[in-house]
Homo-oligomer: A and B are copies of this chain.
Amino acid sequence: WYVLCSNILGGCRGTTGPGSIRPGTNRPWAKDFPTITVQDMVDVQKALVDSLGIQKLRAVVGGSLGGHQTMTWATRYPDSLQTSVVVGSSPRLTAQALSFEVVARNAIQTDPHFQNGDYYGSPEQPRTGLAIARMLGHITYLSSEAMAQKFDVDRNSPRDIATGFEKRFSVGSYLAYQGQKFTERFDANSYCTISMALSLVDFGSTPAELENTFRESSCDWVVISFSSDWLFPPTQSRQIVAALTALGRRVSYCEVPTTAGHDGFLLSQEISAYGPLVSAKLGEAQPQAPRPHRQDAAILNMISAGASVLDLGCGDGHLLAALKTRGHQRLCGVDVKTSKLVVTAQHGVDVIDADLNLGLPEFQDDQFDIVVISSTLQLVPNVKALLKDSLRVGKELILAFPNFAWQPLREMFSEEGRSPKTAGDYGFQWYDTPNRRFPSIRDVEELIKKLELNIIESHYEAEGAPLSAEQLKDPNLFAEFAVLRISSENPIGGLSRP
């Protein structure tokens, strides 16, 4: 790809900033440089792109404040990009993150050399305040764990640097060095200008506000967060994802496990975790054909052509890949394993990194025609909540699960008196199985009745073949697994019953 990377409006290393000469004068803008916003930054980028004669960008990619720019591109110039990649960003700063920006600006602006921003001609610059601001920044970019790794081995051995700041501790000399070095290459007014633009970012603080914002967008999305980022925490990226899925936008999301903190978005080693997701979105993936699971054929039979499908616990995307091949357009998988998310995404479907045990807050009512829970029910603690939530998000639910009361398992348990074990989902030892629910078909069907849901289609199978008519008299005994299509609607009109 061709990559465009421009300097930032308000900065001091290209493009216009407070240190630039104000037209019509021969003096810098200084304190008269206007308060700018991320919209202004993006407008300048748009002018650059226009001047190059580019109609549509394949993708706009940005981390942190760059993520805010990316989201602004998507909502302000929706026809100008195909894909938006938002890395380690947020709808707006948390109150905590905002407060660090406030203290940083206070440190700069109360530096006596700041002189209300008119310091360019002075012999002294507001270096002390700027250095303090930068020190604070460095703390917030790292995680506590990363700082411990970096500074706890030689806590009391500061580097011997020339500084007016304290150098009693190793972390102190590091911060002093970073703070001072920063003042050689960055301008205090630029810092305050960009910091204020960051502080003013506000894509919304409620789901409704966020949806309103992103309603303007039409591109595809990739959203990435970093597990130890406390400045732009993953919960905030999930808010973006929730708004986008609510609007039916195509979005993939991944929370990269890392101790790097917010800095994760700058580190090349983290790219291996989320880069393939971006590549997949850009259509560069060459997916391997996944091995279908035994219940997939029955599930596929229950899904009508073109239906939109949400697959909860999608694994490597075997089911979604088959649906993609069948021509379904709106497909989304949810799982918690980053590596599998990437494999799934390579089939050209959306994937969202989420823990089903926290419910489905990312999804709106009736958002999908079909929600699938396949080989997943047995892993979930809060079964009732998941079933209910699935039928909130989907018009119908297809539930495929192994039958713990299948005859061979029953006999194993009854005759041997030990926890039954079989191939497939129940192929684990009792003491290390990931499963935590062991339902039979009867158990599940009783629960469905209790929840006042209705089974509108069912398929029972054992050892590669559907049950015979004789076996169908007792599927709970003869079926190895069941596939149930479930609805919350009463098929014969619940209200009209006498």
Chain A positions within 8 Å of B, measured between CB atoms, are 94-96, 98-100, 102-103, 105-107, 109-110, 112, 128, 132, 135-136, 139, 142, 144, 147-148, 150-152, 155, 164-166, 168-169, 171-172, 175-176, 196, 199, 205, 230, 233, 381-384, 404-405, 410, 413-414, 416-419, 430-432, 436-443, 446-447, 476-477
Cβ-defined contact, A95 with B151, below 8 A: yes
Contacts of A147 in B (CB 8 A): 94-96, 99
- A interface secondary structure, majority: helix
> Which residues of B sit under 8 angstroms from A477, Cβ to Cβ?
417
Tell which of B139, B168, B417 touches A476, judged by Cβ atoms closer than 8 Å.
B417
Given A383-B432, A405-B417, A431-B384, verify A110-B98 contact (CB < 8 Å): no
Please indicate the chain B residues that have their CB under 8 angstroms from the CB of A438 in the complex: 419, 430, 438
Distance A96 CA – B109 CA, assembled complex (angstroms) = 25
Chain B residues with Cβ below 8 Å from A165 are 106, 110
- With CB as the reference atom, state the residue of chain B lying closest to A407: B417
Tell me the minimal C-beta distance from A101 to chain B in angstroms. 9
A361 to chain B, nearest CB (A): 17
Contact of A144 (CB < 8 Å), options: B95, B205, B417: B95
Asked whether, in the complex, the Cβ of A103 is within 8 Å of the Cβ of B175, the reply is yes
Bound Cα distance from A147 to B100, whole angstroms: 12
* Contact status A99-B419, CB under 8 Å: no
Cβ-defined contact, A384 with B432, below 8 A:
yes
List B contacts of A199 (CB < 8 A): 168-169
Collect the chain B residues with CB atoms within 8 Å of residue A142's CB. Answer: 96
Q: Which residues of B contact A110 (CB under 8 A)?
A: 128, 132, 164-165
- Taking A95-B148, A107-B132 as known contacts, 11 extra A-B pairs with beta carbons closer than 8 A to each other, sorted by chain A number, are A95-B147, A96-B147, A96-B148, A98-B151, A102-B171, A106-B165, A110-B164, A152-B205, A417-B442, A430-B437, A431-B437
A171 touches B443 (CB 8 A): no
* Contact between A106 and B132, CB atoms less than 8 A apart: yes
